[in-house]
Structure formats: C-alpha cells, structure tokens
Structure 1
Amino acid sequence: MAGVLQAWSLAWPWHTGGFPGHHGQPLWWLQWLSLAVLPAALLRVQRPWHGVLIGWAFACAWLCATFWWLFISMHTYGGLPAPLAVLAVLGLAAFLGLYYAVACGLFVAWRGERLAGAVLLFAALWLLAELARGQWWTGFPWGAGGYAHVEGPLVSLAPWMGVYGIGAVASAAAMWLAGLRGAHIARWPGYVALLAVAGVLWLAQRLPQAPVAAAPNKPVSVALLQGNISQGEKFQASSGIPMALAWYAQQLQQSQADMVIAPETAIPVLLQQTPHGYWQELQQRFASGQQAALIGVPLGDFEQGYTNSMVGLVPGQPEAYRYDKHHLVPFGEFIPPMFRWFTDLMQIPLGDFNRGGMNQPSLPWAGERWAPNICYEDLFGEELASRFVDNAQSPTIMVNASNIAWFGDSIAIDQHLQISRMRTLELARPMLRATNTGATAVIDRAGVVQQILPHQSRAVLQAQVQGVDAGPTWFAQWAGRWGLWPLWGLGVLVVLAAWLGRRRR
C-alpha cells in the first residue's frame, strides 16, 4: 500500500475521497510519508535478501500504480491482447524495480548503528537506483519521487540539484523519520534528527533563487492548439486524418498570435501524403507578416527513414526551421534489439524513427529563442540543460509538443504536467505545452501553471508569455556540461564509504 501511495503522491488520481479538489495535483507530504514506510520495514530485518524482497515489492507496486496506463496504449490502441499487455506492464515494473531491490538489499547489508550514517547510506542508494532507472537501457524515469515536490518545502532545491537531488533529500528525510522508531539503530539522537530535518527544510526555503534578467523580455502572444482527436481515430484515413488536417489548418490560418504552436504529429501524415497544395498554403500563410508557427509533423521517407519532428514557419526565412526528436520512446518510436517480435504484435504506425541530435538550435523569433522538445523528452532535464552551455544561445522559452492520447483520459496527463513543471523549476524558463488531448498549458519560470485548457476538449489556448533571457541556473550549468555524473559520483562515494566502514568492523 505504501508503494501505491508513493505513485498517487505524484498526481492524486481520484476526484473524490480523502483529498477532494486535489485531482491531478502532487502531494509532497504523502510522498515523504509513504516512502518512510520502506526504510522503517528495512530496519526490522537483518538479512540482505529480505531487504531485496521488501524493496522489490515496494517498487513494483509503486511503478505499476504509476504507469499502469501503458496498458491502454498497448491493448486499446496497439492491439496487443489484454493478458500480454498486463504482463508487459508487470514485467516492466518488475524489471525496473530490481534497481530498488538491490539498493534495499545493500542498505540492510551495510547499514551501521548510527542514524546519521543510515540516513546518508539510504539516500545515496536511493539516488543511485533513481539514476539507474532514469539512464540505463535508454532510461525510463517516469514517476521519479522528486516530481511530487514541484510544490512544498523542497521546491527551492530544483534550480540547484534537480529532480534527482530533491528525491535524494526527500529519501534522507524519510529515513530520518523511520529511524526515530527503528530497531537495531541508535535512538538517543532522535531529537537531533528532528532538528536536522527542520534545518534542511528551513535552508531549502532560503537558498538563492535562479538568476533574473536585468530587463525582462516583452510579452509575446501565443496560441496553443489542442485538437482532441482520439488515438483510435488519429491515423484513420476516413476520419482522424482529414479531421486533423482540416482543424489544424483552419486554426493556423486564422490565428493572430505572434506564435502558433500545434502539438506532436498534429499533421498525422508525411508532408508528401498531405492533399495537393496543403503544405504550400501553410508556408505561404507564414511567409510574410509578423507571425510564426511551430507544427508537429512526421518527416522523411522509406529510403532515408523517418523522424518525429517540429517544423517552424517563420517570415523571411527561405527554409523552414526543423527540430527532430532526440530521445525516442522504446517500442513506441524505436525497436530495441531482439524485440522486433513484440512490436510486430502491435499496430503502431511509424514505430521506428531516426534520432535527432542532442543539442539542436532554438528557433529565433520575436526577440525570443524557442526551444522545442517532443513529449517524452522533457523527462530528461540533463538533456534539456545541455542547451544552456552557451548562454548567448540558451533558450528563453521552452516548448513541449505532446500527444498523450495514447494513454486515454488517464492520470498520465497530469503526471506529465508535473514533469514539465519540474523542468521550468530546474532551468528557470517558462514552458508552453501544446498537446492533442491535454494538458495544454502555460507554465511560468517558477513552475506555476498560469493557464490550462480542460482535458479532452478541442480548443485554443490564447496567452501572453514572457521569455527569460538570464544566466543559467546552477543545475543548468553543471548538468549541461557533465550530465548527471556529479550525482552518480556523490552517490557512489557515500556507498563506498559505507562499504569500507562495514569491512573495518
């Protein structure tokens, strides 16, 4: 149950119940309390393999309750038989849960009798498990514990240490709480533990915030398009495709905003497959004047391969701007080695894309540098941070174009919104989200949702956004240059110190 509550803390899934009015919202305190159950259980066992089983059970429940909606994409829209789809979700959770199982087994094996040492060891092992899940085998970090803290006392840590650093601090606080009543561990400094937790929270609130531009940029008007075309129809030649082509073309032609943004695969076919003159009319629409557009569209051909892309149409530029998705979704956008048989069981169109470059340039327009990322890519803050190494070319506005219709009207929509909020906190830039079914929203640099469209609605979000042209945050500086290696190094050093200390005893 603690693992399930850990998942629910990332985005509360119920409209009614214990927390009415919190549907889709993160509950930082629930993440902390539910995680504290894990070390409390680990402190009661002596054998490492018991720790492995406890950690694996917690992680499997947490991860299944987090991304259960993968069943919808595989069964409802991918055509995979329901039993196989269930097994696939369970198998993924069980595999990813092994990282946490190993971490918990090592904690039981190497913990000492001092509370401070146990806190550091548990936090370091938890950090390494989260990093492994987020980076190994291309990474699947959806639902990392730190995302529950886009609100609350730890939010000020985001521009310094990012979501994984926040998760490590939260796990340390959870271990402090568990250690106050834990067996086989010194309890006399319990009151010191409470003071330490209070001190960390106090310090987090008083850390300097991200750099602020001396002269804020002038607001720019934007139109974010949400077509609300169900995934079951989206690629149907008799319904979804003509519906998408007509509705998005109408909005692009009529909008008066400085920048019009259409979501991932808003045009659901290759440009050469669109009706005669369709793309040329859109190019002509934005060839002159004071407006530009970013449009999600698949590009390529059978010989050269395909890309999941955003195309920018800007007045006065003879060639369209192009951004190709870099971090692809396993099975959905590329087929891992030895898994062709699995994808052949599903009917997912264009399921094997080429990969774009890591640090592609932003789109300059209206005094801003617009930096697109496509759907799943905004889970990887260290990759977005790489765009901030050259401050003169760093983004002033981030744009996420998504299609979460693959997962129906599920909590995945709200979970993804919290992920985007964390990126704005880490990088101190506003994020515009243009999606097919939600959550289409404007998020300011402080992680606050300024405007949002209702889920599962066909509408246009008209807004004003103010870019931020300032120095990079501390997170952007170190993660942009070195990725997550500093966190890896810190975690390994703490674990190594615990191992050496155990050998000396």
Structure 2
Amino acid sequence: MVDQQSPKGMNALALLILFILGALLAGATELSYGGWIQIPILALVWWRLNLQHSSKLQTHFVSGLTFGIGYFVIGLWWLYISLHDVGGMHPLLSCAAVFLLSAYMAFYFSVATLAISLFRKTRVTGLLLAASWVVMEFLRSYIFTGFPWMGLAESQINGPFAPIAPLFGGLACTFLVVWISWELFQLKNRAIFSAAIMICVIGITQLTGLISFTKPFGDPISIRLIQGNFEQTLKFNPQAIAQQIDFYVSQIKKESANLIVIPETAFPWPQNNLPPGLLNYLQDYSNTSSSNLLVGLIGEVPSSKGMQYTNRVTGLSPNTPAYQYDKAHLVPFGEFIPPGFHWFINAFNVPLSDFARGSLDQAPFSIVRKNQDAVRAAITICYEDVFGGELASRINLSNEPVNLLINMTNLAWFGQSQAPTQQLRLSQLRSLETGLPALRATNTGITSVLGPDGKVLQSLPEFTQASLSTQVQAYAGKTPYVIWGNFPILSISCLLLIWGFIRQRRF
C-alpha cells in the first residue's frame, strides 16, 4: 500500500496515474466520439498535475513527460511492426526505438504543461496552457523535419471543435481542446464562469460549421482507386514485384474512368528498371480510353551524389506530356538517413535509401476531361498529409486553382494496427481545413473518398484486393486557413504567452 505521507510513494503513484491517463487518451482517439472523450481525460490530467504542490519545474516536467510517454507508446506502438516484423530488427532494439521516439514526442507535451507551474493560477491559466500547447505542437511539426503524428487535433474529426479547422486549422482545434478541458477541470472552483465559457465556445464553434468557403466545380468525375493488398516483404522479391506490376496494369485496363489511381510505390522498381515500354503502354491506354492515370513508382534524379531515387507519382493524361510529383517531405530513417544514424539503418534487413527531396512548389495534377474544364489535384504521398500548413501553403501559392486532394500511400509496413485509421483521420482533417474533397489510394487500406467536410463517403475494407469505383464532385475556392495558414493561431498563442510572462513579472 502506498504511503500517502511519503513524497516518493505519492510521486510514484502520481506518475503511474499520469501514464495510465496518457494511455487512455491515446486509446480514446480510436473511438467514434474520441474528440469528445479526450476532453474529460485531459481534465483529469490537469487535476493530477495540479496536485503536484512542489514549486520545482522538474516535478511538473517529469509528470508531463510520463503522461506523454503513456500517450505515445500506445499511439505509436505499430512502429514495432515495421522495425521487427518487416525490418527484422531485434525485439529489444525495436522496443527501445519505439520508447525513445515516444519519449522525444512526449518532451513537447511535457514542456507545454509547464504553463501550469510557470504562471499564477487565474481565470486565464487555461488560455496560457492552450497557447503553450499550440506552440509546442507547432515546434513538434517543424524540428528535425517534424513528426506531428498523434496530435490532439485529428481526433476532433469526431469532436466538437472540427468546424473551426477551415478558419484557423488543426492547431486551433488543439487550442480549444486544451482550453475547454482546463475549464472542465475548473468547474469545481468556479462553476458558473467555466460552464459559461464551455457552452459559449462549443456553441460558437458549432455555428461556424454552417459557413461554407468552397463550392462545387464542374460535373462530377468518375474515379477508380485500386487497392492491391501486397505484403511489404514481397516488395523486395523480384518475382513478386513482377506479379504486382502485372496486377496493377491489368486492373488499370479493366475499366476506364476519368481518373484511375494506384498506391504509393505500386511499381516498386526504379522507373528506368521497369519493364521496357511499360509507361508508354499505359500512356497509349490513357490516350485511347480518355483516362487519367496516377502511378506510384520509384523515380531517379541527378544530384551532387550522382543519381538519387525519389518517391514519385507519375501522371499520364490523354495526349498530354507526363506529369511527375516527387515527395517533398521525407520520412526520417525510412526515406532519408539523418547524419550519424547509418548504424541504425544497418540493423534492418530491408533495402532503404537516401531519397532526393522534391520541391515544395510542384504544380497540381490536371485531370483532363472532354468538353470540361480540367480538375486540378494536389498530390501528397504517404505521411505528407500530416503537415497541414505545408499543404495549405502549396494550395494558396499554386499558379493554378486546386479542386481536389489525392493521397497515395502504402501502410503495409505497419501490419494490422491502428496506423491506417490514424492517417485516415489526418486526411479527413486536411479536407476539412481546405474545404476540398480527397481521394486516398492505398496498398492495404484505408482506400477511401472524403467529402469537403472531411466525412468518409466511401471506403474499401482493409487488407482486401479490390477497386473502388465511384464519382467525386470537385470543389473550387479557398478557406481562410488556406489563405492565412497557421499565422493567426500562432500569433494569438505567442501574444498570450508574452502577456502571461509580463503579467507574471509584475506580481
């Protein structure tokens, strides 16, 4: 039994509770109403952190770190599958890698929670905590190329604050989640004030959902999304690669459509090593069938290191020069090796490489239709759709208006885990932020069609070999978030923190 008078015993119990709360918060994100459930769980976290009476910042730092580790270990455990099951890394080393990444992610959570101890407890403490959280989440998406996976915002697809995303983006959703969860915690101290804040904020946010910033553009386009369901280990077997290419070619030819999309690296050989004449053959099919094709493959570009591979999407349109999009935001350790970490990659039993980066200003893909204006699509590959600010900037700065989002991905690396549903929620948030429908063509799932409000319109079951054929309505226009990006919410957050520090010094 824990001695409640013992600081060590009480701290150990508090840390255990915080770790469990972090794990529960991660688990709640997978539920239908996870965006609502995360608010009372966070309120419990603030309650536990507020019980730490020590004025030492390190006490709150360790407490926040423990909570964050519980959250990310549960949320990112699927990395073990890619490291051990696919990559052949030793189980202990794989577990250590997941834990260390989780601890690094938790560091940002921990620093954000320091606002509870840095500032005097007043009615604006919740605002300062929310501002701190937003700044740290932004830094998490930027430092070391960024890894903002498992943020609080994507759960709001099933929560009360999703309607604010077209105005101020996912970080604004995060701000409101943290602020309102603090006010929920404060109900015991100031019931009327906190209840009024919660009701007003949720009510106003819901009303913003009645505003539409984009509108339908042209006639619906017919699409086919092909899900091959090939195991990741087969991508390193030459015979299996040939069978995979044959499958996708036969599926492409099976039925024409305005747009046919196959997943990321569906052709897993370098473009110059593909069967002779393959892309010309597909171009001929595009010309005769009036189908636009998007094909995931490995590209090659000259660089200072010689020829380098790229993670590429090649677009083929009727009687039009080929389009290409090279992935710009690469995955650390998966697509590029940070300096000093080649020893880590050598622990894998799969071939990986330093890929070249594409530019951030690549043009959208034009979907050509007879007697219709072209529909232009912004392409993202794999986890590029995690970075909402980058996508919004691309759309806003594009010389051609963007009407559709297309994400091509391969999550076979992560087996039967929650990784596909996590990325689906991220894609939903991107549609909501931009007001544009989205197509997701994946290898193992979740292949789906999303509306401009982020709702899933149609999808294929995971781990099945199938094709999704339907029609999609393109949209035109820009949301405020596409125009402003993260500038408004970051400015508000920074100003709040500056004001908080000035106010603190006066007292």
CA contact (8 A) 1:6 1:145 kept: no
Q: How large is the Cα RMSD of the aligned pairs?
A: 1.6
Match of 1:476 in 2: 482
The residue type paired with residue 303 of structure 1 is G
CA contact (8 A) 1:159 1:209 kept: no
- SS of 2:267's partner is coil
Which residue of 126, 130, 135 corresponds with 2:142? 135
User: Equivalents in 2 of 1:486, 1:202: separation in Å?
Assistant: 21
Are 2:328 and 1:326 aligned?
yes
Match of residue 437, structure 2, among 430, 435, 438: 430
Question: Does the residue aligned with 1:308 lie in a helix, a strand or coil?
Answer: strand
Q: 2:251 matched to 1:251? A: yes
Question: 1:451, 1:305 → 2: CA distance?
Answer: 37
Q: Distance in 2 between matches of 1:292 and 1:425?
A: 26
TM-score by length of 2: 0.91
Within 1, Cα distance between the matches of 2:70 and 2:234?
Answer: 33
Distance in 2 (alpha carbons) for counterparts of 1:321 and 1:278: 16
What is the SS of the residue equivalent to 1:287?
Answer: helix
Aligned residue in 1 for 2:221: 220
**Offset, 1:389:** 2.1
Note the C-alpha offset of 1:105.
2.6
Matches of 1:209 and 1:391, distance apart in 2: 24
Report the CA distance between 1:294 and its aligned residue. 0.3
C-alpha contact (below 8 Å) 1:328/1:355 kept by paired residues:
yes
| 1:493 CA drift (Å) | 1.9
Q: Distance between the aligned counterparts of 2:217 and 2:408, measured in 1?
A: 25
Is the alpha carbon distance of 1:161 and 1:146 closer, same or farther for their aligned partners in structure 2, counting shifts above 3 Å? Answer: same
Aligned residue for 2:339?
Answer: 337
Cα distance in 1 for partners of 2:398, 2:268 equals 35
**Corresponding position of 1:16:** none
Residues 283 and 318 in structure 2, CA contact (< 8 A), matched pair in contact too: no
Between stretches 249-258 and 98-107, larger displacement belongs to: 98-107
What is the CA deviation profile of residues 388-430 of structure 1, one whole-angstrom value per residue up to 9, with x for unaligned ones?
3257613101100000000001100111111100000000000
Contact 1:288 1:316 in 2 (8 A): no
What is residue 293 of structure 2 aligned with on the other side? Answer: 293
Structure 1 residue 166: deviation in Å?
0.2
Amino acid at match of 1:487: I
Deviating runs (4+, > 4 A) in structure 1?
none
Hey, what does 1:21 align to over in structure 2? none
C-alpha distance in 1 between matches for 2:213 and 2:118: 43
Match of 2:436, SS? coil
After TM superposition, the structure 1 = structure 2 runs for residues 335-414 of structure 1, keeping only pairs within 5 Å, are 335-365=337-367, 366=369, 367-390=374-397, 393-414=400-421
State yes or no: 1:503 paired with 2:505: yes
Task: Tell me by how many angstroms 1:296 deviates.
Answer: 0.4
Output one character per residue of 1:447-488: Cα deviation in whole Å (capped at 9) or x when no partner.
111110000000000010010012x10111101xxxx34433
Contact 2:33 / 2:159 at 8 angstroms: preserved in 1? no
Separation in 2 of the partners of 1:349 and 1:98?
A: 31
CA–CA separation in structure 2 for the residues paired with 1:88 and 1:274: 35
Can you list the C-alpha shifts for 1:431-462, whole angstroms capped at 9, x where unaligned? Answer: 00000000000001011111100000000000
Map of 1:114-193 to 2, 5 A cutoff? Answer: 114=122, 116-181=123-188, 187=189, 189-193=190-194
Partner of 2:284: 284
Match of 2:471 in 1: 464
For 1:485 and 1:159, locate their aligned partners in 2 and report how far apart those are by CA, in whole Å. Answer: 14
Conservation of the 8 A alpha-carbon contact between 2:112 and 2:133? yes
| TM-aligned CA deviation for residue 212 of structure 1 | 3.4
Matched-pair contact (CA < 8 Å) for 2:378–2:395: no
How big is the shift at 1:42? Answer: 1.9
User: Residues 279 and 339 from structure 1, CA distance in 2 versus in 1: closer, same or farther, beyond 3 angstroms?
Assistant: same
| Superposed CA offset, 1:296-329 (max 9, x none) | 0011168321110100011111x31000101000
Is the contact between residue 79 and residue 347 of structure 1 (CA under 8 Å) also seen in structure 2?
yes
Structure 2 residue 223 is matched with structure 1 residue 204? no
2:64 aligned partner, one-letter code: G
Q: Quote the residue 2:69 is aligned against.
A: 60
Query: Which whole-Å CA distance do the structure 2 matches of 1:193 and 1:428 have between them?
Result: 32
For 1:418 and 1:405, locate their aligned partners in 2 and report how far apart those are by CA, in whole Å: 18
Q: Does 1:3 align with 2:26?
A: no
Deviation at 1:98, TM superposition (A): 1.2
Is it true that 1:308 corresponds to 2:311 in the alignment? yes
Cα 1:419–1:81 change in 2 (3 A) is same
- Asked if residue 488 in structure 1 is aligned to residue 502 in structure 2, the reply is no
Deviations 1:374-399 (A, max 9, x none): 01100001111112325761310110
Amino acid of the residue matched to residue 43 of structure 1?
N
Distance in 2, matches of 1:292 and 1:203, equals: 42
TM normalised by structure 1 equals 0.91
CA separation in 1, counterparts of 2:186 and 2:143? 31
The within-5 A match list for 1:73-152 is 73-110=82-119, 112-114=120-122, 116-152=123-159
From 30, 41, 56, the equivalent of 2:37 is: 30
Does structure 2 retain, via aligned residues, the 8 Å contact 1:4–1:62? yes
Tell me the matched-pair count: 477
Deviation at 1:237, TM superposition (A): 1.3
Structure 1: give runs of 5+ residues left out of the alignment.
13-24, 182-186
Q: Distance in 1 between matches of 2:205 and 2:350?
A: 45
Q: Which amino acid aligns with 2:273?
A: Q
Inter-CA distance 463–37: structure 2 relative to 1 (3 Å threshold):
same
CA distance in 1, matches of 2:456, 2:65: 35
Q: Which residue does the alignment assign to 2:14?
A: none
CA contact (8 A) 1:326 1:356 kept: yes
Instruction: For residue 238 of structure 1, report the CA deviation from its aligned partner.
Output: 2.8
One of 58, 62, 80 as aligned partner of 1:49: 58
- 1:10 to partner: Cα distance: 2.2
- Asked if 2 retains the 8 angstrom alpha-carbon contact of 1:387 and 1:394, the reply is no
The answer for the alignment partner of 2:17 in structure 1 is none
- Hey, what's the Cα distance between the residues in 2 that align with 1:447 and 1:211? 14
Q: CA deviation at 1:277?
A: 3.0
Distance 2:443 2:396 in 1: 32
Q: Do the aligned residues in 2 keep the contact of 1:387 with 1:395 (CA within 8 Å)?
A: no
Letter aligned with residue 138 of structure 1 = T
Gaps of 5+ in 2: 1-19
Percent identity, aligned pairs only, is: 33
Cα distance in structure 2, aligned partners of 1:359 and 1:37: 44
Once the two structures are TM-superposed, the CA of residue 180 in structure 1 deviates from its matched residue by 2.5
Contact 1:229 / 1:244 at 8 angstroms: preserved in 2? yes
Query: Per-residue deviation at 1:109?
Result: 2.4
Which is worse superposed, 168-177 or 487-496? 487-496
Report the CA distance between 1:289 and its aligned residue.
Answer: 4.0
What letter corresponds to residue 206 of structure 1 in structure 2?
A: L
User: How far is 1:211 from its partner?
Assistant: 1.6
C-alpha distance in 1, partners of 2:187/2:88? 50
The separation in 2 between residues aligned to 1:438 and 1:336, in whole angstroms, is 29
